[in-house]
Structure 1
Amino acid sequence: MEPQYSEHPSMFRNNPLGFILAILLIPVAVGILILLWWYLQCMSTKLEFVGNDLVLEKGLLSKARMELDVRRIRSVNVYQSFFNRIFGVGKISIYTAGDNPEIEVAGLPNPHELRTLIKAQQQA
């Protein structure tokens, strides 16, 4: 089954000032290490919406996979700072029970699209 939503956190759009600072630090060689670490961190996290499940995968060599049934989701919170809104990214928090989010991912492109997909699937 094809995912309806599948995204990795964004590097530049999530933190443009940090990205520019890392680029400026490339001549000192620290910038390359920062960008490499940041890139691996972003590529090792993936959030997908497949069928009735929300799937979060983390890790490069060892993987951790969490699946949530959409019908069990109680609330979906999207937080976007001013710069996040300009660049179209945000932090999404998924709650099933209690006060702590089950899934929380920052820097996701189009977080409202995922929220809309979850709500539509819950109503179906």
Structure 2
Amino acid sequence: MSTNDNVEDVLYEEHPAMFRNRPVYFVFCCLLIAAFGIGLVMLLIWYFQSIGTTLIITEERTTLRRGVFSKYTNEVTHDNVRNVQIAQTFLQRIMGVGNVGISSAGQSGVEIFVRGIPDPERVREIIHNGSRGEYEPD
């Protein structure tokens, strides 16, 4: 009988939003579909980029995974987080999405950067409070 005590609870797991992140581009692609059909290719590429990007936050670490066929993973433990940056355009604020950057003490720049993540303020709250063991999910 074996137990796995190393399993971490996932507190947040999201893909970048498509329409809410870039509504004007989304409408533009839809108009191109109606007019020429080329917008469908643009939407499909954008869809696979969005579905292939996942931001996962557990009690101990934040992980960014990218890729559908090949994989890229970057991970920062919450003990090492030095800075969480959130940037939102006016439309992103209205739509409830934003860009999130995470810096750690071990590196000089932003280690994890992802665009169009839903509820970026919640991401910051989970990282700051979760690293102190204070976060309680909704």
TM band (smaller chain): over 0.9
Matched, 1:72 2:80: yes
Distance 1:24 1:34 in 2: 11
Indicate the residue corresponding to 2:121 in structure 1: 112
Distance 1:53 1:113 in 2: 15
- Answer whether contact 2:74 2:111 (CA < 8 A) is retained: no
Which one of 40, 55, 68 corresponds to residue 48 of structure 2?
40
Shift of 1:29: 1.4
> Which one-letter code corresponds to 1:29 in the other structure?
G
Which one of 22, 26, 36 corresponds to residue 19 of structure 1?
26
More helix, by proportion: 1
Q: What secondary structure is seen at the aligned counterpart in 2 of 1:25?
A: helix
RMSD of aligned C-alpha atoms?
1.2
Matched, 1:102 2:111: yes
> Which one-letter code corresponds to 1:5 in the other structure?
Y
- Answer whether contact 2:15 2:55 (CA < 8 A) is retained: yes
Q: What secondary structure is seen at the aligned counterpart in 1 of 2:64?
A: strand
Equivalent residue pairs, number: 124
TM-score after normalising by structure 2: 0.85
Shift of 1:16: 0.2
- Answer whether contact 2:59 2:131 (CA < 8 A) is retained: no
Matched, 1:60 2:79: no
Q: What secondary structure is seen at the aligned counterpart in 2 of 1:31?
A: helix
> Which one-letter code corresponds to 1:108 in the other structure?
I
Indicate the residue corresponding to 2:11 in structure 1: 4
TM-score after normalising by structure 1: 0.95
Q: What secondary structure is seen at the aligned counterpart in 2 of 1:9?
A: coil
**What 5-or-longer segments of structure 2 have no aligned partner?**
1-7, 134-138
Shift of 1:87: 0.1
Indicate the residue corresponding to 2:94 in structure 1: 86
> Which one-letter code corresponds to 1:34 in the other structure?
M
Distance 1:10 1:87 in 2: 10
